[in-house]
Amino acid sequence: MAKSFLGKLKAKWDEGKFVCVGLDQGSFTFDKKIIDQTFDLVCSYKPNAAFYKEAELQKTVDYIKANHPDIPIILDAKRGDVENTNKAYVKAIFDDLGADAVTVNPYLGGKSLQPFLDRADKGIFVLVKTSNPGAGEFQDLIFKIIAEHVVTWNKNGNLAVVAGATYPKELKKVREIVGDMPILIPGIGAQGGDLKETVKAGVNSQGQGIIINSSRGIIFAPNPKEAALSLDHKIKEALK
């Protein structure tokens, strides 16, 4: 039986790997070079659906699955619609594309997300506190409520949350609410999040639980392997 998303992720954490490389270029040829240089340093890859034509995204996912099946793939798609539409998204993302996890928007409520929640073998990352400037306009009013709801929705133990490194106080609060649940943490690197503060705020009771995403800071670096290795070292230092 194939290992679940959380099983794959936990195995990577146990190896001391917490770096997630965000693939935002939209080209399989480009992605292949990045993957070949970083596969031994990452806990996951996160292709952003917005940048890809379908064929290029499929090639990237297929390449990771064929060559590094132990590395989970998080599709950054931020999906969230009415229940019937979400059923179609679930089929496209998990059954057709073959991703291990996906980011989803909770704005339409838990019932609408049920097709995602039901996929116990897959990781469902609910947006709670995003890293972008202006995120607080609405999220500061409700991010704690969303985090609390994610905990109640987590009947299958397959849920996780997104909380940005650019808001470490809010990240710490999210961790307090969701317990040991995985947190995908964007905002390190180009967006300016403080890594040491982020790790301290985001780590769970096992000293794990964090997926530190870097996109531009790695994929556009002169040497992507060195950039990933540097981030890996900095995370390990922050965990001490």
Question: What amino acid positions are annotated as catalytic residues?
Answer: 78
User: Considering only CA atoms, which of 83, 21, 66 is closest in space to residue 48?
Assistant: 21
Helix, strand and coil in the chain, % to nearest 5: 50, 20, 35
d(CA 140, CA 236): 30
What token pair was written down for 33? 């070079």
Q: Are 64 and 38 in contact (CB under 8 A)?
A: no
Strands in 159-163's sheet, in edge-to-edge order, are: 42-47, 19-23, 210-214, 183-185, 159-163, 123-129, 101-104, 74-79
End-to-end CA separation in angstroms for the chain? 35
d(CA 188, CA 184): 11
